[in-house]
Amino acid sequence: MSQEEEEKSLLEISGDEDFIREPATDSKPLWFASTAVTYLFHPLLLLVYAFFFVDIFFPYQFMHLAGPAKSQLLLALIINTVAFPLITLGLMRGLKIIPNFELNSNKERILPFIAIMLFYFWTYLVIKKLGVGEYFTHIALGASLAIFLAFFANVFYKISLHAVGAGGFLGIALTLTMQSTYNLLLPLLLVIIVAGIIGSARLFLGAHVPREVVTGYMVGLLGQMVAFTYF
Protein backbone atom coordinates (compact mmCIF):
# COMPACT_ATOMS: atom_id res chain seq x y z
CA MET A 1 0.00 0.00 0.00
CA SER A 2 1.40 3.42 -0.98
CA GLN A 3 1.64 6.26 1.51
CA GLU A 4 -1.20 8.10 -0.26
CA GLU A 5 -3.47 5.05 -0.09
CA GLU A 6 -2.59 4.50 3.55
CA GLU A 7 -3.42 8.11 4.45
CA LYS A 8 -6.73 7.85 2.60
CA SER A 9 -7.54 4.63 4.43
CA LEU A 10 -6.82 6.25 7.78
CA LEU A 11 -9.03 9.21 6.91
CA GLU A 12 -11.88 6.85 6.01
CA ILE A 13 -11.50 5.03 9.31
CA SER A 14 -11.49 8.24 11.35
CA GLY A 15 -14.43 9.69 9.45
CA ASP A 16 -12.56 12.99 9.10
CA GLU A 17 -12.33 12.89 5.33
CA ASP A 18 -13.07 15.83 3.07
CA PHE A 19 -13.13 13.84 -0.15
CA ILE A 20 -16.21 12.34 -1.81
CA ARG A 21 -16.25 8.56 -1.95
CA GLU A 22 -16.79 6.93 -5.31
CA PRO A 23 -20.10 5.12 -5.97
CA ALA A 24 -19.87 1.41 -5.26
CA THR A 25 -21.57 0.54 -8.56
CA ASP A 26 -21.05 1.44 -12.21
CA SER A 27 -24.63 0.55 -13.09
CA LYS A 28 -26.55 3.68 -14.09
CA PRO A 29 -30.01 2.19 -13.38
CA LEU A 30 -28.84 1.15 -9.91
CA TRP A 31 -27.32 4.59 -9.36
CA PHE A 32 -30.56 6.33 -10.38
CA ALA A 33 -32.64 3.97 -8.22
CA SER A 34 -30.36 4.55 -5.23
CA THR A 35 -30.56 8.31 -5.74
CA ALA A 36 -34.37 8.14 -5.91
CA VAL A 37 -34.46 6.13 -2.67
CA THR A 38 -32.15 8.70 -1.04
CA TYR A 39 -34.55 11.56 -1.80
CA LEU A 40 -37.78 9.63 -1.27
CA PHE A 41 -36.71 8.45 2.18
CA HIS A 42 -34.83 11.54 3.28
CA PRO A 43 -34.37 11.48 7.09
CA LEU A 44 -36.15 14.82 7.49
CA LEU A 45 -39.35 13.10 6.33
CA LEU A 46 -39.34 10.63 9.26
CA LEU A 47 -42.07 12.27 11.36
CA VAL A 48 -44.23 13.00 8.31
CA TYR A 49 -44.10 9.36 7.25
CA ALA A 50 -44.63 8.29 10.87
CA PHE A 51 -47.82 10.38 10.95
CA PHE A 52 -49.29 8.47 8.00
CA PHE A 53 -48.05 5.14 9.37
CA VAL A 54 -49.77 5.68 12.72
CA ASP A 55 -52.90 7.07 11.05
CA ILE A 56 -53.21 3.93 8.91
CA PHE A 57 -52.20 1.19 11.35
CA PHE A 58 -52.86 2.82 14.74
CA PRO A 59 -55.73 5.22 13.91
CA TYR A 60 -57.27 5.41 17.39
CA GLN A 61 -54.24 7.45 18.46
CA PHE A 62 -55.70 10.36 16.49
CA MET A 63 -59.39 9.66 17.12
CA HIS A 64 -59.69 12.52 19.61
CA LEU A 65 -58.44 14.97 16.97
CA ALA A 66 -61.06 16.62 14.79
CA GLY A 67 -60.43 16.75 11.05
CA PRO A 68 -58.88 20.25 11.05
CA ALA A 69 -56.74 19.43 14.11
CA LYS A 70 -55.23 16.40 12.40
CA SER A 71 -54.48 18.43 9.28
CA GLN A 72 -52.91 21.14 11.43
CA LEU A 73 -50.69 18.54 13.11
CA LEU A 74 -49.50 17.28 9.71
CA LEU A 75 -48.87 20.84 8.55
CA ALA A 76 -46.88 21.57 11.74
CA LEU A 77 -44.74 18.48 11.13
CA ILE A 78 -44.03 19.51 7.54
CA ILE A 79 -43.14 23.07 8.54
CA ASN A 80 -41.07 22.31 11.66
CA THR A 81 -39.23 19.16 10.61
CA VAL A 82 -38.94 19.59 6.85
CA ALA A 83 -39.39 23.19 5.69
CA PHE A 84 -37.52 25.01 8.47
CA PRO A 85 -34.50 22.65 8.39
CA LEU A 86 -34.29 22.95 4.58
CA ILE A 87 -34.55 26.74 4.75
CA THR A 88 -31.85 26.78 7.41
CA LEU A 89 -29.57 24.65 5.25
CA GLY A 90 -30.24 26.97 2.33
CA LEU A 91 -29.25 29.98 4.43
CA MET A 92 -26.10 28.22 5.62
CA ARG A 93 -25.25 27.42 2.01
CA GLY A 94 -25.90 31.00 0.94
CA LEU A 95 -23.71 32.34 3.73
CA LYS A 96 -21.03 29.77 2.84
CA ILE A 97 -21.17 28.21 6.29
CA ILE A 98 -21.46 24.87 4.51
CA PRO A 99 -19.94 24.26 1.04
CA ASN A 100 -22.88 22.25 -0.33
CA PHE A 101 -25.99 20.31 0.63
CA GLU A 102 -24.21 16.94 0.50
CA LEU A 103 -22.33 17.60 3.79
CA ASN A 104 -19.60 15.15 2.80
CA SER A 105 -17.47 15.75 5.88
CA ASN A 106 -18.60 15.14 9.45
CA LYS A 107 -17.20 18.59 10.32
CA GLU A 108 -19.60 20.20 7.85
CA ARG A 109 -22.51 18.57 9.66
CA ILE A 110 -22.01 20.12 13.10
CA LEU A 111 -24.03 23.34 12.70
CA PRO A 112 -26.79 21.70 10.62
CA PHE A 113 -27.04 19.01 13.30
CA ILE A 114 -27.51 21.61 16.03
CA ALA A 115 -30.19 23.44 14.04
CA ILE A 116 -32.11 20.25 13.23
CA MET A 117 -31.90 19.10 16.86
CA LEU A 118 -33.53 22.36 17.95
CA PHE A 119 -36.30 22.08 15.37
CA TYR A 120 -37.08 18.47 16.32
CA PHE A 121 -37.04 19.12 20.04
CA TRP A 122 -39.29 22.12 19.56
CA THR A 123 -41.67 19.90 17.56
CA TYR A 124 -41.70 17.37 20.40
CA LEU A 125 -42.62 20.10 22.91
CA VAL A 126 -45.41 21.37 20.65
CA ILE A 127 -46.83 17.87 20.17
CA LYS A 128 -46.66 17.19 23.89
CA LYS A 129 -48.45 20.44 24.72
CA LEU A 130 -51.17 19.80 22.13
CA GLY A 131 -51.96 16.44 23.72
CA VAL A 132 -51.79 14.66 20.38
CA GLY A 133 -51.48 11.28 22.06
CA GLU A 134 -48.93 9.37 24.09
CA TYR A 135 -47.76 7.18 21.21
CA PHE A 136 -46.99 9.93 18.72
CA THR A 137 -45.46 12.07 21.46
CA HIS A 138 -43.04 9.22 22.14
CA ILE A 139 -42.25 9.00 18.43
CA ALA A 140 -41.34 12.70 18.31
CA LEU A 141 -39.21 12.34 21.44
CA GLY A 142 -37.50 9.25 20.01
CA ALA A 143 -36.64 11.15 16.82
CA SER A 144 -35.18 14.00 18.89
CA LEU A 145 -33.12 11.59 20.99
CA ALA A 146 -31.83 9.83 17.86
CA ILE A 147 -30.63 13.12 16.37
CA PHE A 148 -28.96 13.98 19.69
CA LEU A 149 -27.16 10.62 19.74
CA ALA A 150 -26.23 10.93 16.06
CA PHE A 151 -24.70 14.34 16.77
CA PHE A 152 -22.24 12.78 19.20
CA ALA A 153 -21.58 9.81 16.92
CA ASN A 154 -20.77 12.32 14.20
CA VAL A 155 -17.79 13.49 16.26
CA PHE A 156 -16.07 10.18 15.50
CA TYR A 157 -17.23 9.46 11.97
CA LYS A 158 -19.85 10.33 9.35
CA ILE A 159 -22.89 8.39 10.58
CA SER A 160 -25.61 7.71 8.01
CA LEU A 161 -28.60 9.93 8.81
CA HIS A 162 -30.70 7.99 6.30
CA ALA A 163 -29.99 4.87 8.35
CA VAL A 164 -30.85 6.77 11.54
CA GLY A 165 -34.24 7.60 10.05
CA ALA A 166 -34.74 4.02 8.85
CA GLY A 167 -33.75 2.62 12.24
CA GLY A 168 -36.12 5.04 13.93
CA PHE A 169 -38.98 3.96 11.68
CA LEU A 170 -38.17 0.34 12.45
CA GLY A 171 -38.41 1.18 16.16
CA ILE A 172 -41.79 2.80 15.55
CA ALA A 173 -43.04 -0.26 13.66
CA LEU A 174 -41.78 -2.63 16.36
CA THR A 175 -43.51 -0.79 19.20
CA LEU A 176 -46.65 -0.43 17.13
CA THR A 177 -46.66 -4.18 16.41
CA MET A 178 -46.20 -5.02 20.11
CA GLN A 179 -48.94 -2.65 21.30
CA SER A 180 -51.55 -3.14 18.61
CA THR A 181 -54.30 -5.75 18.89
CA TYR A 182 -54.07 -6.29 15.12
CA ASN A 183 -51.59 -8.50 13.29
CA LEU A 184 -49.07 -6.04 11.93
CA LEU A 185 -46.30 -8.47 10.99
CA LEU A 186 -46.72 -7.68 7.30
CA PRO A 187 -46.24 -3.90 7.76
CA LEU A 188 -43.29 -4.65 10.06
CA LEU A 189 -41.72 -6.87 7.40
CA LEU A 190 -42.27 -4.13 4.81
CA VAL A 191 -40.49 -1.59 7.06
CA ILE A 192 -37.55 -3.99 7.52
CA ILE A 193 -37.25 -4.44 3.73
CA VAL A 194 -37.44 -0.68 3.09
CA ALA A 195 -34.84 -0.03 5.82
CA GLY A 196 -32.54 -2.51 4.10
CA ILE A 197 -33.10 -0.83 0.73
CA ILE A 198 -32.28 2.59 2.21
CA GLY A 199 -29.01 1.39 3.73
CA SER A 200 -28.06 -0.43 0.52
CA ALA A 201 -28.77 2.69 -1.54
CA ARG A 202 -26.41 4.77 0.60
CA LEU A 203 -23.70 2.11 0.20
CA PHE A 204 -24.24 1.86 -3.59
CA LEU A 205 -23.85 5.64 -3.89
CA GLY A 206 -20.60 5.51 -1.95
CA ALA A 207 -21.99 7.96 0.61
CA HIS A 208 -21.11 5.69 3.53
CA VAL A 209 -19.24 2.59 4.56
CA PRO A 210 -21.09 -0.32 6.25
CA ARG A 211 -20.07 0.72 9.77
CA GLU A 212 -21.69 4.14 9.34
CA VAL A 213 -24.93 2.61 8.07
CA VAL A 214 -25.13 -0.03 10.83
CA THR A 215 -24.44 2.59 13.50
CA GLY A 216 -27.20 4.72 12.00
CA TYR A 217 -29.70 1.86 12.28
CA MET A 218 -28.70 1.30 15.90
CA VAL A 219 -28.94 4.98 16.86
CA GLY A 220 -32.37 5.41 15.26
CA LEU A 221 -33.72 2.25 16.87
CA LEU A 222 -32.21 3.14 20.25
CA GLY A 223 -33.81 6.59 20.21
CA GLN A 224 -37.30 5.12 19.84
CA MET A 225 -36.69 2.31 22.33
CA VAL A 226 -35.49 4.77 25.00
CA ALA A 227 -38.44 7.10 24.38
CA PHE A 228 -41.02 4.30 24.68
CA THR A 229 -39.32 2.55 27.60
CA TYR A 230 -38.30 5.37 29.91
CA PHE A 231 -40.67 8.25 29.13
Q: Do 111 and 97 form a contact (C-beta atoms < 8 A)?
A: yes
179-209 pLDDT, tens digit each: 777 778 888 999 999 999 999 999 998 888 9
> Which residues does 192 contact at the CB level (< 8 Å), separation at least 6?
170, 173
Q: Is the pLDDT of residue 5 over 80?
A: no
The pLDDT value recorded for residue 24 is 65
Q: How confident is the model at residue 158 (pLDDT cuts 50, 70, 90)?
A: confident
- Give the 3-state secondary structure of residue 102: coil
Residue 187 burial (CB < 10 Å; 0-12/13-18/19+)? middle
The pLDDT value recorded for residue 132 is 82
Q: Which of these, 15, 11, 9, 46, lies nearest to 195 by C-alpha position?
A: 46
Q: Is the C-alpha dihedral spanning 46, 48, 51, 53 positive or negative? A: negative
Mean pLDDT score, 13-35: 67
* Domain parsing of the chain, residue ranges: 26-50+67-230
- Residue 160 phi/psi, 5-degree rounding, is -80, 115
The pLDDT value recorded for residue 89 is 92
Output 169 or 26, whichever has higher pLDDT. 169
59-116 pLDDT, tens digit each: 877 887 776 888 889 999 999 999 999 999 999 988 888 877 777 677 888 889 999 9
